[in-house]
């Protein structure tokens, strides 16, 4: 099944915030991220967005953890939902996708956010918390681009492609004046300067998506399996997207990957990607949405709505940016805790609604394609 793109206007950036609760919005967790509103227009007011929330018996506290990429969206959603649903507290800790999945598997949270779909081994581990034969499932919620950011004084408009990126991040290309980079940038004055790559030190859905892109788009040059944990030799590590962005800002000759908001917030240069389209594609939310329009369901006919992004990673469509991620909310298809299930369904219904989705486009996210949103809502209604 091919997904059709919803053509709403989108702004740049995906940000991160570490803890979202009814009382505080503060940095926490392994990524130590800070709030950023991105470079787009402001999101709709809480009053306007909250008016569309249906509390549907929601009460008490709901705990979630995981993806930092969706943290700014979660901040907005929590604020709006709690404004409508008096007495409800949604506490989301942006600890990173890997940590969020672990917390869900151990029963510490009712839902997890992840920028990569559950693996079979992860699904098996959810059997102990999803009672009555239930299991964890993936519910896609929002998407955005992963920027390739670099620190190369005097060089603007850098163009890279998947094979060159793969060789850079596996240590096969080690200098900025390498012939492969020169070929892509014939007019640039590339310096004789060592390349310093930075990757995530923690388990990260951003890493999983970036390495999946390399493996799909440059299989001869990146032969490792995609993984939340960085597998390639060499390079330097930093915790969280904020840590990577800080290193790129400070280190001359550096290059790394992280959500677009960090580049926007730090005024960092980003590379355009040559995909085989008529022209290299600059990173933007709109361009990333065009790539995700080619995604298909990985498990059609099942409650799990994980997406196959291979078509996005290898796209050659004009204006489509291929290094993308989709953030999932992970919950039990059945066997959810009875005391938190009404709140879980009400909250997920709100964030997948037109009002919930549109409330975060000004923060740099692109909303679900319309037909995918319909299936997500149907599956949320079936949670038990």
Looking at the chain, the domain(s) classified CATH 3.40.190.10 span 19-143+327-382, 146-288
> What DSSP string describes 210-260?
HHHHHHHH-TTT--SPP-SS--SSSSEEESHHHHHHHHHHHSTTEEEEEEH
Task: State how far the Cα of 359 lies from the Cα of 349, in Å rounded to an integer.
Answer: 14
Predicted local confidence at residue 52, as pLDDT: 62
Task: State how far the Cα of 178 lies from the Cα of 164, in Å rounded to an integer.
Answer: 10
N residues, the chain: 384
Give domain 19-143+327-382's CATH architecture. Answer: 3-Layer(aba) Sandwich (3.40)
Regions of the chain where pLDDT drops below 70:
1-52, 294
The answer to whether 162 touches 214, Cβ cutoff 8 Å, is: yes
Tens-place pLDDT, residues 24-50:
332 223 333 333 333 333 444 444 555
Task: State how far the Cα of 100 lies from the Cα of 66, in Å rounded to an integer.
Answer: 4
Spatial CA neighbour of 314 closest among 166, 212, 184, 181: 212
Predicted local confidence at residue 47, as pLDDT: 46
Other CB atoms within 10 A of residue 137 CB: 26
Predicted local confidence at residue 53, as pLDDT: 75
Contacting residues for 67 by C-beta, under 8 A, at least 6 apart = 94, 96, 97, 100, 113, 114, 115, 205, 327
Predicted local confidence at residue 41, as pLDDT: 35
Half-sphere exposure of 351 (CA within 13 A, CB side): 27
Task: State how far the Cα of 165 lies from the Cα of 220, in Å rounded to an integer.
Answer: 12
Half-sphere exposure of 201 (CA within 13 A, CB side): 12
Task: State how far the Cα of 368 lies from the Cα of 288, in Å rounded to an integer.
Answer: 12
Tokens of 194: 């060592």
The answer to whether 56 touches 349, Cβ cutoff 8 Å, is: yes
Backbone angles phi, psi at 263, to 5 degrees: -70, -40
Predicted local confidence at residue 241, as pLDDT: 86
Task: State how far the Cα of 355 lies from the Cα of 32, in Å rounded to an integer.
Answer: 29
Domain 146-288 fold: D-Maltodextrin-Binding Protein; domain 2 (3.40.190)
């Amino acid at each position: 099944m091919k997904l059709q793109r919803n053509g709403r206007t989108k702004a740049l950036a995906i940000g991160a915030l570490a803890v979202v609760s009814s009382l505080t919005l503060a940095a926490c967790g392994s990524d130590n991220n800070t709030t950023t509103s991105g470079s787009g227009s402001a999101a709709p007011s809480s009053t306007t967005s909250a008016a569309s929330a249906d509390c549907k018996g929601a009460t008490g506290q709901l705990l979630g953890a995981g993806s930092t990429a969706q943290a700014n969206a979660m901040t907005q959603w929590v604020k709006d939902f709690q404004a409508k649903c008096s007495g409800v507290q949604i506490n989301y800790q942006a600890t990173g996708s890997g940590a969020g999945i672990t917390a869900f598997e151990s029963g510490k949270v009712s839902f997890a956010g992840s920028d990569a779909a559950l693996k079979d081994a992860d699904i098996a581990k959810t059997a102990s918390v999803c009672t009555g034969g239930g299991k964890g499932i993936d519910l896609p919620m929002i998407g955005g681009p992963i920027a390739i950011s670099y620190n190369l004084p005097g060089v603007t408009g850098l163009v890279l492609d998947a094979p060159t990126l793969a060789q850079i991040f596996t240590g096969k290309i080690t200098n900025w004046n390498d012939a492969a980079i020169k070929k892509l940038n014939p007019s640039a004055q590339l310096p004789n300067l060592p390349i310093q790559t930075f990757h995530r030190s923690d388990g990260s859905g951003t890493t999983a998506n970036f390495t999946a892109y390399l493996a799909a788009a440059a299989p001869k040059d990146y032969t490792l399996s995609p993984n939340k944990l960085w597998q390639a030799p060499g390079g330097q590590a930093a915790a969280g997207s904020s840590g990577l962005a800080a290193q790129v800002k400070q280190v001359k000759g550096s290059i790394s990957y992280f959500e677009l908001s960090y580049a926007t917030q730090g005024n960092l240069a980003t590379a355009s990607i040559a995909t085989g389209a008529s022209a290299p594609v600059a990173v933007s939310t709109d361009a990333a949405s065009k790539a995700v329009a080619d995604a298909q369901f990985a498990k059609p006919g099942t409650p799990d709505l994980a997406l196959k992004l291979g078509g996005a990673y290898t796209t050659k469509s004009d204006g489509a940016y291929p290094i993308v991620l989709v953030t999932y909310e992970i919950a039990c298809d059945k066997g959810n805790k009875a005391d938190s299930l009404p709140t879980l369904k009400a909250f997920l219904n709100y964030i997948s609604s037109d009002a919930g989705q549109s409330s975060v486009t000004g923060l740099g996210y692109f909303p679900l394609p319309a037909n995918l949103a319909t299936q997500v809502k149907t599956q949320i209604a079936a949670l038990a």
